[in-house]
Amino acid sequence: MKKILLFSLVIIIIPTIMTTIIKKEDKNDFIYEENMLIRVKRKNGNVEVIPLEKYIVGVLAGEMPLNFTDEAFKAQAIAARTYALKKMENNVNNEYDVVDTVQNQVYLDEEYLKQAWSVNYADNIKRLRKIVLETKGEYLTYENNTIEAFYFSTSSGTTENSKEIFGISLPYLQNVKSTWDEISPVYEEIKRYKIIKFCELLEIECSQEININIIKRTTAGTVKEFKINNINYNVSNLVNKLSLRSSNFSISIDQDEVLIKTKGYGHGVGMSQYGAQAMSLLGYKHQEILKYYYKNVEIKKI
């Protein structure tokens, strides 16, 4: 499955992510135990109660291409389980813990996978179940607290600091080099728009002469502030309306066209999935991958 690409525009829901982090960073009385159940709100609006480990199998199917290595998948399994556990802590008094889309983690159930994978279903599901079993109950902590295990498709060469993207400083979500992401087929993208079309898509007034200035970037290169004809424009609006893969972009004018070059895919905070794949191909184990992208964390077991 290539559902990893669905994670591209988590930028759309950054306000939701920020609210979650701000709302709950204190340790509560939520108790982890084997055979936990997670409440998943499906696209049809129904809330399904699913064994946690079965849920993680469906997340692996939804979040990583099957041609990734087992070590990359194991890193993803632990990150996804950690993410789910944190959501379960934060939503203990709510109707559901997670939704099955990129708003949280993409979850694909067995009925869907049987149709999607057809004759390959048995082999594929067996492999993912084995990976989940081999990491069963494992999750990430920082100073004995479950971390916010954000992850994304492809970095621009350096991951983002949570402070610069979400406005909240988390010591385990800092900038790290991830130059090996260049193996990703979505590492770079160039889009061209006629100036008139560009302005139409952004719903702004402009003429054939247009000035675009990037005012501020994060340490890793994500655009935080820019102007069109000396007027501040919302970065998220540009990303959403032009369907850009990330907010790490450059803009130039070529005669009557606007050229936009993006680097990376997703919000850039936490573990890069293609970075994890590249590290595994270089011989790194999943524990090393996780501890590289999430600084000074420990791997614990329920």
- List, for residues 99-113, the tens digit of each pLDDT value: 999 999 999 999 999
Q: Do both 209 and 274 map to the same domain?
A: no
Q: Do both 47 and 99 map to the same domain?
A: yes
Total residue count of the chain as it appears in this document = 302
Q: Do both 295 and 168 map to the same domain?
A: yes
Opening angle at CA 141, ends 32 and 108, nearest 5: 65
pLDDT band, very low/low/confident/very high, at 229 (cuts 50, 70, 90): confident
Whether 21 shows a pLDDT value over 70: the answer reads no
Whether 16 shows a pLDDT value over 50: the answer reads no
Q: Do both 243 and 158 map to the same domain?
A: no
DSSP-based helix, strand, coil % in the chain, nearest 5: 40, 25, 40
| pTM for the whole structure | 0.89
User: How many domains does the chain contain in total?
Assistant: 2
Q: Do both 153 and 292 map to the same domain?
A: yes
Q: Do both 141 and 274 map to the same domain?
A: yes
Residue type, 166: F
Give CA–CA dist 130/259, Å, rounded: 45
Q: Do both 109 and 128 map to the same domain?
A: yes
**How, if at all, do strands 98-99 and 37-41 pair?**
parallel
Local structure of residue 186 (DSSP, 8 states): T
For 296: left if phi > 0, alpha if psi spans -120 to 50, otherwise beta; the answer is left
Q: Which of 18, 39, 17, 98 is nearest to 63 (CA)?
A: 98
Q: Do both 120 and 132 map to the same domain?
A: yes
In which domain, by residue range, is 32 found? 3-182+267-301
- List, for residues 23-65, the tens digit of each pLDDT value: 545 555 688 988 899 999 999 999 999 999 999 999 999 999 9
Q: Do both 26 and 119 map to the same domain?
A: yes
pLDDT band, very low/low/confident/very high, at 10 (cuts 50, 70, 90): very low
Q: What is the mean pLDDT of the chain?
A: 90
Q: Do both 206 and 117 map to the same domain?
A: no
Give CA–CA dist 24/89, Å, rounded: 9
Q: Do both 231 and 144 map to the same domain?
A: no
Q: Which residue has the tokens 């972009």?
A: 249
Q: Do both 192 and 43 map to the same domain?
A: no
